[in-house]
Amino acid sequence: MGEASHRGVMQGIADVNADNDLDLTFEPVERDPAGDVDAYAPLGEDILATSRARHIIGCTTSWSRKEVIPTLERLNGALWYPVPYEGFEASDRIVYTHACPNQHLLPLLEHALGAHGRRGYLTGSNYIWGWEMNRLARQVTVAAGGEILGERYLPLGSTDVARIVAEIAALRPDFVLNQLIGPSQYEFIAEMAKLRQRDPHFASPRCPVLSCNLTECELPVMGDAADGIIAAGPWFRGMPARSAGRDRGHGFGSSFEVAAHDSVMMLARLLNNRPGAEDLPLSQLLSLPVAGQLGISARTHHTRLPVAIARVQDGAFSVIRALEPIDGDPYLTGARDMPRAALRVVT
């Protein structure tokens, strides 16, 4: 996933530097924390203290993002965070350029409750993403008149999924919301595929596994077992790729690359024709009218994103619903209207 973000950023920089309409070029300053959560703050500090760079694009986990915030505050830096997360944050030093729950979980649940039924099962890895997503899913499902039949977690990295799959086999929910990550997720998907083969009740498309953060990055490792998973995200391969109002024209691999690429393009548009703007605090940069035109909210620092619901089929996503872009609502305090279906359904 980090590699996908990196590819998107590097492509964005190449595009900015090749664009004659922009009066600037970007020069990357790269540091690789290699997933070591204690390395993010020092390396962020290194970038801000030893180079002229004020904007950092990076971080995958929420934990690493929170580690970097004090450094950003102390050294007047900004972070563009280009991956989906669980919401409930609005740092004035961060721009959140991938989806938060009203842009992934809520539309995904709305789809599942309508298309598959109201009885859900929740599972996840034991850390904040899984806990928060499932808390919200329970709240939304119950409010919609549904029920949660079970909820079970695994330690990070555990592949001991037998009990979860056995519970699902016994409870026969209408859908399973999966917030397991990494090897836990891969093992769970493989065991669910076996369950579908031996128990006709679970034959596809019944009881789909839902995911808010699955992208093309992780499909190859799961192989055929991933078929039938339903995911929500701002972009899936095959959808039109537009960035800052322009066609990108790249063969992006996943929404991770797209969001990272968009981050670079949006930053370039914010700085374009504004000498000295590279040293402005992020809050001032985002209060420029162009930020609103790019879909960045000066109030929440979250971005307006399209929402697509897609089903995995033969190792790729097939979009089943494409919804109009909606603003990020990190604290879910806005109007609870669900996004409207776009006129054109992308397939």
CB of 336 to another protein, least distance (A): 9
Q: Contact between 278 and another protein (CB under 8 A)?
A: no
Question: Which segment (11-19, 107-115, 244-252, 326-334) binds another protein by CB under 8 A?
Answer: 326-334
Neighbours of 220 (CB within 10 A): 9
Bridge partners of residue 150, in order along the sequence: 121
Q: Contact between 2 and another protein (CB under 8 A)?
A: no
Q: What is the pattern of x (binds another protein, CB under 8 A) and - over residues 47-76?
A: ----------------------x---x---
| Three state DSSP letters for 216-274 | HHHHHHHHHHHCCCEEEECCCCCCCCEECCEECCCCCCCHHHHHHHHHHHHHHHHHCCC
Q: Contact between 321 and another protein (CB under 8 A)?
A: no
CB of 37 to another protein, least distance (A): 18
* Exposure string over 65-76, b if 16+ CB within 10 A, otherwise e: bbbbbebbeeee
Q: Which amino acid is at 287?
A: S
Distance between CA atoms of 252 and 260, rounded to whole angstroms? 11
Q: Contact between 30 and another protein (CB under 8 A)?
A: no
Residue closer to another protein by CB (options 92, 199) is 92
Question: Which segment (82-90, 113-121, 124-132, 315-323) binds another protein by CB under 8 A?
Answer: 82-90
Question: Backbone dihedral region of 166: left (phi > 0), alpha (psi from -120 to 50 degrees) or beta?
Answer: alpha
Q: Contact between 91 and another protein (CB under 8 A)?
A: yes
CB of 7 to another protein, least distance (A): 30
CB of 89 to another protein, least distance (A): 8
CB of 284 to another protein, least distance (A): 12
Strands 209-211 and 230-233: parallel
Residue closer to another protein by CB (options 196, 301) is 301
Answer yes or no: are the C-beta atoms of 239 and 289 closer than 8 Å. Answer: no
- Alpha-helix runs per DSSP H in 272-333: 282-286, 289-293
Question: Which segment (121-129, 164-172, 288-296, 298-306) binds another protein by CB under 8 A?
Answer: 298-306
Q: How many residues can be counted in the chain?
A: 347
CB of 286 to another protein, least distance (A): 11
Q: What are phi and psi of 321, to 5 degrees?
A: -145, 135
Distance between CA atoms of 236 and 187, rounded to whole angstroms? 23
Q: Contact between 147 and another protein (CB under 8 A)?
A: no
CB of 70 to another protein, least distance (A): 9
Q: Contact between 128 and another protein (CB under 8 A)?
A: no
Residue closer to another protein by CB (options 32, 73) is 73
CB of 335 to another protein, least distance (A): 8
Q: Contact between 131 and another protein (CB under 8 A)?
A: no
Q: Contact between 334 and another protein (CB under 8 A)?
A: yes
Q: Contact between 143 and another protein (CB under 8 A)?
A: no
CA 266 to chain centre: 18
Question: Based on the number of CB atoms within 10 Å of its own CB, is 181 exposed (0-12), middle (13-18) or buried (19 or more)?
Answer: buried
Q: Contact between 330 and another protein (CB under 8 A)?
A: yes
Q: What are phi and psi of 254, to 5 degrees?
A: -165, 170
Tell me the site size for another protein, rule CB under 8 A. Answer: 19
* Residue that is written with structure tokens 């050294």 in the block: 75
Summarize as ranges the residues that interact with another protein (CB under 8 A). 69, 73, 88-93, 139, 283, 299-301, 329-331, 333-335
